[in-house]
Structure 1
Amino acid sequence: MLRPVLCALALWLPAAVLAAPAPPPLPVPPIVDRHTQPERALLGFAPPPPAVTCAEGAPRRLSGNRFSPAPSWMPAGEAAPRQETFLFRIDPSGRPLGIRAATPRRDDQTEPLEATLAAWRFEASNAGFTGCAYTVEGRVHLPTLAPADLLRQAVAERTWRGRDEWRLRQLIGSAGCGPNTAPAPRITHHPDYAAVQKLPGRPQWSLESFDVSTQGRPHHVVHIADSGAPDLRRRSERAVRASRWESKEAVGCLMTYYAPPAPLPAPPMPQRTGYERPGDSCEEDVDLSFRTPIPYPKAAEGRRIEGWALMRFDVAPWGEVGSIEVLASEPTSAFGLMASNYLRMAKASNPSTGRKGCIVPVRFKLPELMTDAGDAED
């Protein structure tokens, strides 16, 4: 009797319900205009200033690298400006410290810009300078419209890799010595990197151009650009002339020689007693455990800049770490940010009743280099 009942019920349903709805039409793919699609571009920064603005005046900048260009994307034909202000102080020796972005916004370029600024040197003074500020100005360029010095720096510092890198090389005159046409090296000479004066926190490079004869000898050796390292430049030109390639003619070959920076030690760390508060209850040391070693800020590691962060936090009775606060970090805010992120993964093994206002130092120390050898890339 069940089947007739179901059929009877179906007879009373409206026709609109019984009819299956028509499937929606397939979406039509949008028409893409290739002229509005993002293109591979270069983010370049203005040259460093002769001086910066501080509360006590405008100290002169004596030395330091230019900001490195970065890969970017942009709609064709547009140039998006970029500005980021950094705040810092300058100690009596002329070293910038306490470097941090004026706004909390951080992106992929904030840390490299901080690290570059940390290796600058200003004029010495009796008491140093406070309340210093500098606004980094950048602009995105299409490679074909980029300034020549930006293209040369991007090639030397390997801003792009692979096919995009060869595109930049072509724009600075290396079209005749591409990945499929360059002669293979037979005897490669390098500068005496051990004799090159290392600069704290400042890597050095020198970019050379040359042709190769049918006998595999370099000729028309021309210096293209460098990071402000005249000693490395002279040694690089001699290294190119002494090298040999296979017997295959080529025009517009490039070679970049790199000298690593000397370590830039961290400034002294203050005593934790200056940050203690009434009501804190963390008299004993806290035993923290981590699943992985603490990572090093990448831009600072590349420039061999050491640093530290002084951190404050609470510990729950079950071992969870919370209320994490960066009390101070030097020489850039990247060390405090890295320490803060790392403490979030910590677990206290002896909290008993919990702790409040624990203060611990986090030091970032680089291992000693086993060699003074530099590097070369063609």
Structure 2
Amino acid sequence: MLNLFLAMVAPAITISPSPAPSPIVTTVSPIERSTRRQTVLAMVPMSGRCGDDLLDISRVQTPMADLFWSSSDADQPVNVRFRIDENGRPFGITGDPVGYGVMADLTPSLAASQFAPNSRREGCTIVYQPKRSSIAEADIHDLIGYAIFAKTRPPKELFERIAPAGSDCNTERPAYLLRASPDFEKIPATTGRSDWSMVQFDIDDVGKPVRLRIYGTTGNVALDKASLKAMAQSRFTKGARQGCLYPYWRRSGTLTAPESKEIAAYRPEDSDCLQTVEWKSQPTLVYPENFRRRYIEGWAVIAFDLAPWGAVGNAKVVAAEPAAEFGEAAQRIVLGSATAASKQGYRNCVVKVRYAMQKQDRAAQVNFD
């Protein structure tokens, strides 16, 4: 089992528990149950176009791989639609309903990508091809990235696959006597992507790391150098070992939300709603987790009606950036809110929900305007 060191404190938000939905009862035939297996799923960008023109996708970030239980290798390509602004940033990201949402990191990885600047482009599409493989056949780089950031403990098979040939470091894990750490704040962060460096090393008889090298990396050279230096300064209990692994990671740099119009610009002409909605109750303001992991900010504008007793109805997404998921999350927030009672109710109210990463404590913040 690898000793995974989470180098930075991850941003967090408080989520109030909500009533669990009724369970969905399904039946699985004995044949299907026997053929299900755990596979590594990677979404590979295959081609891109903006209208009739080809789009260079060489700098598109590949979504992080994930583990799924599956009985089939048949997957349909997924189309993701968007536009590109003058700075080369993709906005208005949405996906086809068929197959969309299979990978939580699909649209965040595109939002964090950078295209060539100085050319606005509309009607862009990237085709992603799902690629399934067994843990034994999966790419080592994909497996390391998954293991470092997995929400639940990966299976033993995955750690065994990652381990270098001939490794004996996991049979009797050496204990740390001194665990050195890089100064992560001095290492440049990659906007919209957490970087990692997996250090491979042996341990001599007295517990000193020797023969250090980079086993895998996202390519942050400064992090690679700092990781090697930190491991060289660490010390373990006595006893020679070989093929040990240790990951260091640097959190993403914040990808700020794009500019938006003033809220009045989204208000319909026939709106009879108050300029500022006074909320009597509102649910927990939930930040979309898949974008929070990459420190990607966003916003959404929601239009809705208010019943005389204060209930929200007819809520719909008017605008959302950089991806539709921000609008979907904001719509759920508005639908779960309520205002004080009024005599006649209101029509065509609008509200903006802003999602921002706080700089001081690296926490996710949702502002409900």
Give the Å deviation of 1:273: 4.1
- Code of the residue aligned with 1:38 in structure 2: it is R
Pair 1:171 & 2:161 matched = yes
Provide structure 1 residue ranges, at least 5 long, that are not aligned to the other structure.
1-29, 372-378
Among 139, 143, 147, the residue aligned to 2:135:
143
* 1:272-325 CA-partner distances (Å, limit 9, x unpaired): 444443433224422123353311100111111111001100001111101001
Asked if structure 1 preserves the Cα contact closer than 8 Å seen for 2:315 and 2:331, the reply is yes
Distance in 2 between residues matched to 1:362 and 1:356, nearest whole Å:
19
Pair 1:238 & 2:229 matched = yes
- Code of the residue aligned with 2:210 in structure 1: it is H
**Superposition RMSD on alpha carbons, in Å?**
2.6
Distance in 2 between residues matched to 1:315 and 1:336, nearest whole Å:
19
Pair 1:132 & 2:124 matched = yes
Pair 1:55 & 2:46 matched = no
Per chain length, whose mean CA-contact separation is higher, i.e. which structure has more relative contact order (CA < 8 Å, sep 6+)? 2
Q: Which residue of 1 aligns with 2:108?
A: 115
Provide structure 2 residue ranges, at least 5 long, that are not aligned to the other structure.
1-27, 363-369
Shift in CA distance, 176/33, structure 1 to aligned 2, threshold 3 Å: farther
1:298-317 matched pairs, under 5 angstroms: 298-317=289-308
Shift in CA distance, 368/193, structure 1 to aligned 2, threshold 3 Å: same
- Code of the residue aligned with 1:169 in structure 2: it is F
1:1-378 matched pairs, under 5 angstroms: 36-46=34-44, 48=45, 52-55=48-51, 57-61=53-57, 63=59, 65-75=61-71, 79-103=73-97, 106-107=100-101, 109=103, 111-126=104-119, 128-158=120-150, 161-162=153-154, 164=155, 166-174=156-164, 175-178=167-170, 181-370=172-361
Distance in 1 between residues matched to 2:116 and 2:62, nearest whole Å:
18
Asked if structure 2 preserves the Cα contact closer than 8 Å seen for 1:59 and 1:122, the reply is no
Asked if structure 2 preserves the Cα contact closer than 8 Å seen for 1:56 and 1:129, the reply is no
Work out the number of aligned pairs and report it: 333
Shift in CA distance, 142/160, structure 1 to aligned 2, threshold 3 Å: farther
Shift in CA distance, 141/193, structure 1 to aligned 2, threshold 3 Å: same
Asked if structure 2 preserves the Cα contact closer than 8 Å seen for 1:38 and 1:73, the reply is yes
Distance in 1 between residues matched to 2:98 and 2:329, nearest whole Å:
15
* 1:80-137 CA-partner distances (Å, limit 9, x unpaired): 335321111111011111111132765352x4211111111111014x1111111222
The DSSP-based 3-state class of the residue aligned with 1:151 is helix
Distance in 2 between residues matched to 1:257 and 1:103, nearest whole Å:
37
- Code of the residue aligned with 1:70 in structure 2: it is D
Asked if structure 1 preserves the Cα contact closer than 8 Å seen for 2:199 and 2:213, the reply is yes
Distance in 2 between residues matched to 1:297 and 1:321, nearest whole Å:
22
- Code of the residue aligned with 1:125 in structure 2: it is N
Distance in 1 between residues matched to 2:60 and 2:192, nearest whole Å:
9
- Residue identity (%): 25
Asked if structure 2 preserves the Cα contact closer than 8 Å seen for 1:204 and 1:228, the reply is yes
Give the Å deviation of 1:268: 0.8
Give the Å deviation of 1:36: 2.7
Please tell me whether Structure 1 or Structure 2 has the larger radius of gyration of its CA atoms.
1
The DSSP-based 3-state class of the residue aligned with 2:207 is coil
The DSSP-based 3-state class of the residue aligned with 1:121 is coil
Give the Å deviation of 1:176: 2.0
The DSSP-based 3-state class of the residue aligned with 2:205 is coil
Q: Which residue of 2 aligns with 1:18?
A: none
Greater Cα offset, 64-73 or 277-286: 277-286
The DSSP-based 3-state class of the residue aligned with 2:231 is helix
Distance in 2 between residues matched to 1:234 and 1:60, nearest whole Å:
31
Distance in 2 between residues matched to 1:94 and 1:177, nearest whole Å:
45
Asked if structure 1 preserves the Cα contact closer than 8 Å seen for 2:305 and 2:312, the reply is yes
